[in-house]
Amino acid sequence: MKLPSSLLATAVGIALTLPQLATADTSGMSIALSNNYAGNSWRQAMLEVWETNAKEAVDSGVVKAADTFTTSENQATEQAAQIQNLILQGYDAIVVNAASPTAINGAVKEACDAGIKVISFDGIVTEPCAWRIAVDFKKMGSDQVKYLTERYPDGGNLLEIRGLAGVFVDDEIHAGIEEEIKNTNLTIVGSVHGDWAQDVAQKAVAGILPSMPEIIGVVTQGGDGYGAAQAIAASDRSMPTIIMGNRQDELQWWSEQKADNGYETYSASIAPGVSALAFWVAQQILDGQEVPKDLVVPIHTVVADTLAESLAGTPKGSVANVSYTLDDAKQTISDAKGS
């Protein structure tokens, strides 16, 4: 079964590389990362990418500092207070992975009013003064339904595993699934929150399975596919088609199932390397470059033909990745400007 053509365009990226050096004079400026959550493999990989790029940029004199701050809880009030503290510390730019698209807008506006550039990514904010870098998360949701519609044209029941409640990414992927499924013979018969974490997803799926009818597929958000597979394998059910989210454990399980019984699925997520893109976009903004407020990065997709290569390049416990450099940031900016 072929994937929808829209899923085949994304190239495989599998390793971190050091960024190319900037030539601009931002050497006296400081950038902070405000991150709302670090409790899964994607967030850990995202932070590793940031720290790798930040250290190289600081060591090379591109910026004075590029510090990381993560809240202890995924609470918008805590992140807003964190941003207010970063304002007082005098950072020139704050890069934000937000707990909410709206709840920290007040703190973001305070930063902008203080002359600080705010760049949100992954979990973006809606405050107009900030920049936004994201994939089309609705498309991530709708593509899963399109794929399962092609696999199962007669329809069937699905389980939906959602992410962190109240977070922009979760809401958008869910909205894409809801919109697309209206035009199909597929039905969502159960929904749980997996919090983008394997252990949480496994427990949640195990809890709902006894009350569910037969399912032919599981739509997911990333970090939850392997947990779902473990829960279903422990039951007396046949294994449905589970959409994966580029985590190493998911790709490893898929590879083993593919070799054993020809298991078919695909895997998709925003690459954790987007934090490096956000860093370089922030650096370009500080350099005075004209940057559109909304920038788009492609969904990073792994298909059967690229599974082996992606798995080989993904460290245990990590996520299949794409490297973003200064040149990539410049190209993303240029694409957004239509030039």
What's the mean pLDDT in 31-48? Answer: 94
Structure tokens at 107: 């703190």
In which band, very low, low, confident or very high, does the pLDDT at 73 lie, cut at 50, 70 and 90?
confident
Compute the average pLDDT of residues 60-80: 95
For residues 16 and 115, membership in a common domain is answered with: yes
Q: What is the DSSP string of 293-335?
A: SEEE---EEE-GGGHHHHHHTS-TTSB------HHHHHHHHHH
Query: Which residues touch 59 (CB under 8 Å, ≥6 apart)?
Result: none
Verify that 128 and 181 share a domain, yes or no. Answer: no
Average pLDDT over residues 326-332: 95
Q: Domain check: are 171 and 63 in the same one?
A: no
Q: Quick one: 96 and 149 in the same domain?
A: no
- Residue by residue, DSSP assigns 12-73 as P-----PPPPP-SS-TT-EEEEEES---SHHHHHHHHHHHHHHHHHHHTTS-SEEEEEE-SS
Residue 100 lies in a domain: yes
Asked if residue 4 has pLDDT above 90, the reply is no
* Contacts (Cβ under 8 Å, ≥6 apart) of 252: 311
Residues 162 and 242 in one domain: yes
The answer to the question of residue 306 being in a domain is: no
What does pLDDT average to over the chain?
A: 92
Residues 123 and 211 both lie in one domain:
no
- Domain end marker among 228, 249, 269: 269
CA distance 15 to 17: 6
The answer as to whether 316 is a domain residue is no
Whether residue 320 contacts residue 314, with contact meaning beta carbons closer than 8 Å, is answered with yes
**What pLDDT is attached to residue 9?**
38
Instruction: State residue 305 phi and psi, 5-degree precision.
Output: -70, -20
CB distance 199 to 247 below 8 Å: no
Q: What is the mean pLDDT of residues 60-71?
A: 97
Q: What is the span of the domain harbouring residue 77? A: 9-135+271-300+321-337
42 and 55 within one domain: yes
Q: In this structure, are residues 62 and 22 in contact, taking their beta carbons and an 8 Å threshold?
A: yes
Q: Is residue 75 part of a domain?
A: yes
213 membership: H or E segment, kind and range: none
pLDDT tens-digit series, residues 204-233: 999 999 999 999 999 999 999 999 999 999
Q: Does 98 share its domain with 172?
A: no
Q: Smallest Cα–Cα separation from 186: which of 222, 239, 144?
A: 144
Q: What is the CATH number of the domain that holds 280?
A: 3.40.50.2300
Q: pLDDT value at position 25?
A: 86
Query: Is 180 a residue whose pLDDT tops 90?
Result: yes
Q: Over 70: is that where the pLDDT of 111 sits?
A: yes
144 part of a folded domain = yes
Q: What is the DSSP letter of 264?
A: -
Residue 294's CB is within 10 A of a number of other CB atoms, namely 11
Has residue 237 got a pLDDT over 50?
A: yes
Q: Tell me, yes or no, whether 77 and 158 share the same domain.
A: no
CA 42 – CA 197 distance, rounded (Å) = 9
Instruction: Judge if 183 and 205 occupy the same domain.
Output: yes
Whether 173 shows a pLDDT value over 50: the answer reads yes
Count of H helices and E strands in the chain?
11, 12
CA 339/CA 334 separation, integer angstroms: 5
With respect to residue 33, please indicate whether it lies within any of the assigned structural domains: yes
List all residues 6 or more positions away from 338 whose beta carbon is below 8 Å from its beta carbon: none
Residue 16 clears pLDDT 70, i.e. is over it: no
199 and 142 within one domain: yes
Q: Is the pLDDT of residue 17 over 80?
A: no
Task: Please give the tally of structural domains in the chain.
Answer: 2
Q: How confident is the model at residue 267 (pLDDT cuts 50, 70, 90)?
A: very high
Same domain, 190 and 230: yes
- For 272, the enclosing helix (H) or strand (E) is none
* pLDDT value of position 339: 57
Task: Decide if pLDDT at 19 tops 60.
Answer: no
Distance CA 116, CA 94 (A): 7
Q: Please report whether residue 69 resides in a domain.
A: yes
Residues 109, 112, 116, 122, Cα dihedral to 10°: 60
Decide if pLDDT at 13 tops 90: no
Question: How far is 101 from 262, CA to CA, in rounded Å?
Answer: 41
276 in any annotated domain: yes
